[in-house]
Amino acid sequence: MIRVLSVFGTRPEAIKMAPVVHALRDAPRQFESIVCVSAQHRAMLDQVLGVFGLDADHDLDLMTAGQSPAEVTARVLQSLPPLLRQIRPDVLLVQGDTMTTFAAAFAAYLERIPSGHVEAGLRTGDRYQPFPEEMNRVMTTRLASIHFAPTAQARAALLAEGIPAADVHLTGNTVIDALLQTVREDYTFRSPRLASLDPRRRVILITTHRRESFGPPLRSTCAAIRDLAERFSDLQFVLPVHPNPEVKQTVERLLCDLPGMYLIEPVDYLEFVHLMNRSYLVLTDSGGVQEEAPSLGKPVLVLREVTERPEGVEAGTAVLVGTDRNRIVQVASELLSSRAAYEQMANAVNPYGDGQASGRIVKALVERFG
Ligand code: UDP
């Protein structure tokens, strides 16, 4: 029996860990699966737990208003060790690149408990972009004992940093497992605003929340959206507004009066997946959305200057447009007016996974710790 403690704290971590936790729970003779949430982002985490029917066995409940990355780290390092000493897992699993990811892996290291890193090996090579995620990934790599790389490039990055090949498993990204387990064609939106979208008009879905986007880049993205609305009269724009005040105040000020604009509260994962499915085009600075949208055949314009996910750009599912107003308008206009350009992107193969990643992770855990 392998005792696995999964620790996560934010919405994207929970989405990407949910299929792993379910896969562990589906093998009760091999695993004892224990879940601990840091609740770094309380409300958005709880939404995901609800959608996936997950209960946390332990809840550090450490979110505070205006918390800094250092404060989150300090709180995880304070509250997790007593739990680790009590549970003594055979392995601790973390996912991705948040302060919870790094701090939990570090706490495990200090207790001499091995940790496994899900979605290991993503790199931009720029220590400040994305910030602080790039450094969290690098440090989690140093701390972890077993690494689950979503793509061949991520695996190569780990090997290039000296991680032994035997410790690296190429699994695909669990985000695709979650997506394929969730999406269905006969879905009806629960949100009255989303249910009121005009079926004859195309939907552009926008998400933006990264620190690097705050200020001028976000204002430039908003200007590009206004330009597109002027050029194409059949568009509806849906923007689930991230609760960060930097995002909320800017988009509300610059976009609230735009006809066809749906500024909505962040929606739960179930609604969001089907919103992606309903969309024609996705504009995003999110990591997870870049990975998901291609599985639904939706071209993605990435609102970032650099990406740690170059595979989508290389496969032709995404274009790195940055936040320059003219560039966004130019690339989006091409896809909105040329059927051939659109089809080429929509039909490109998603390089991020086939929906079987969690099964591969579970198998690797059995081989290593069984
Ligand atoms: N998502 C969601 N509701 C929303 C926006 C996004 O459930 O209103 C999901 C989306 O499907 C993806 C994840 O949240 O799986 C992405 O999270 P986010 O963009 O916050 O973080 P990142 O992926 O950039 O780390």
335: CATH: 3.40.50.2000
Q: Could you tell me if 154 and 212 lie in one domain?
A: no
> Is 149 part of any domain?
yes
Q: Could you tell me if 229 and 318 lie in one domain?
A: yes
Q: Could you tell me if 148 and 211 lie in one domain?
A: no
The catalytic position among 211, 219, 226, 327 is 211
- Cβ atoms of 346 and 335 within 8 Å: the answer is no
Protein residue closest via CA to atom 9 of ligand 1: 269
> Is 226 part of any domain?
yes
Q: Could you tell me if 86 and 204 lie in one domain?
A: no
Q: Could you tell me if 331 and 358 lie in one domain?
A: no
Protein residue closest via CA to atom 19 of ligand 1: 286
Q: Could you tell me if 73 and 43 lie in one domain?
A: yes
Q: Tell me the C-alpha to C-alpha distance, in Å, between residue 238 and each of 118, 198, 261.
A: 31, 12, 6
Q: State the Cα–Cα distance between residues 93 and 121, nearest whole angstrom.
A: 15
The catalytic position among 13, 119, 268, 308 is 119
Q: Could you tell me if 13 and 154 lie in one domain?
A: yes
Q: How many residues does the chain have?
A: 370
User: Measuring CA to CA, which residue among 41, 210, 44, 14 is closest to residue 118?
Assistant: 14
Q: Could you tell me if 317 and 204 lie in one domain?
A: yes
Low-confidence ranges of the chain (pLDDT < 50): none
| pLDDT tens digits for range 316-348 | 999 999 999 999 999 999 999 999 999 999 999
Q: Could you tell me if 164 and 196 lie in one domain?
A: no
Q: How far is the CA of 207 from the centre of ligand 1 (A)?
A: 8
Q: What angle do CA 121, 122, 125 make, to 5 degrees?
A: 110
**What pLDDT is stored for residue 175 in this prediction?**
98
Q: Could you tell me if 335 and 362 lie in one domain?
A: no
Burial profile 53-88: b = 16 or more Cβ within 10 angstroms, e = fewer = ebebebbbebbeeeeebeebbebbeebbeebbeebe
Probe residue for ligand 1, chosen from 8, 11, 209, 303 as the CB with the greatest number of ligand atoms within 8 Å: 11
**What pLDDT is stored for residue 243 in this prediction?**
87
- Answer yes or no: is the C-beta of 271 below 6 A from any ligand 1 atom: no
**What pLDDT is stored for residue 21 in this prediction?**
98
Say whether 169 is catalytic. no
The catalytic position among 11, 75, 97, 360 is 97
Q: Which residues contact 91 (CB under 8 A, 6 or more apart)?
A: 2, 3, 4, 5, 113, 114, 115, 116, 145, 146, 365, 368, 369
Q: State the Cα–Cα distance between residues 279 and 41, nearest whole angstrom.
A: 27
Q: What are phi and psi of 78, to 5 degrees?
A: -85, -40
The catalytic position among 13, 75, 133, 278 is 133
Say whether 32 is catalytic. no
> Is 365 part of any domain?
yes
Q: How far is the CA of 11 from the centre of ligand 1 (A)?
A: 7
Q: Could you tell me if 133 and 13 lie in one domain?
A: yes
Protein residue closest via CA to atom 2 of ligand 1: 269
To the nearest 10 degrees (0 to 180), the angle between helices 325-337 and 216-231 is 30
Q: How far is the CA of 259 from the centre of ligand 1 (A)?
A: 25
Q: Could you tell me if 35 and 145 lie in one domain?
A: yes
> Is 186 part of any domain?
no
Q: State the Cα–Cα distance between residues 120 and 325, nearest whole angstrom.
A: 33
Q: Which residues contact 324 (CB under 8 A, 6 or more apart)?
A: 220
Q: How far is the CA of 171 from the centre of ligand 1 (A)?
A: 21
- The total number of structural domains in the chain stands at 2
Q: State the Cα–Cα distance between residues 267 and 241, nearest whole angstrom.
A: 9
Protein residue closest via CA to atom 20 of ligand 1: 12
> Is 187 part of any domain?
no
| pLDDT tens digits for range 4-42 | 999 999 999 999 999 999 999 999 999 999 999 999 999
**What pLDDT is stored for residue 83 in this prediction?**
98
> Is 182 part of any domain?
no
- Answer yes or no: is the C-beta of 240 below 6 A from any ligand 1 atom: yes
- Cβ atoms of 327 and 321 within 8 Å: the answer is yes
**What pLDDT is stored for residue 228 in this prediction?**
98
- Answer yes or no: is the C-beta of 15 below 6 A from any ligand 1 atom: yes
Q: How far is the CA of 44 from the centre of ligand 1 (A)?
A: 9
- Answer yes or no: is the C-beta of 137 below 6 A from any ligand 1 atom: no
> Is 117 part of any domain?
yes
Protein residue closest via CA to atom 24 of ligand 1: 286
Burial of 289 (0-12, 13-18, 19+ CB in 10 A): buried
What range does the domain containing 112 cover?
2-173+354-369
**What pLDDT is stored for residue 211 in this prediction?**
87
Say whether 41 is catalytic. no
Q: State the Cα–Cα distance between residues 148 and 365, nearest whole angstrom.
A: 10
> Is 178 part of any domain?
no
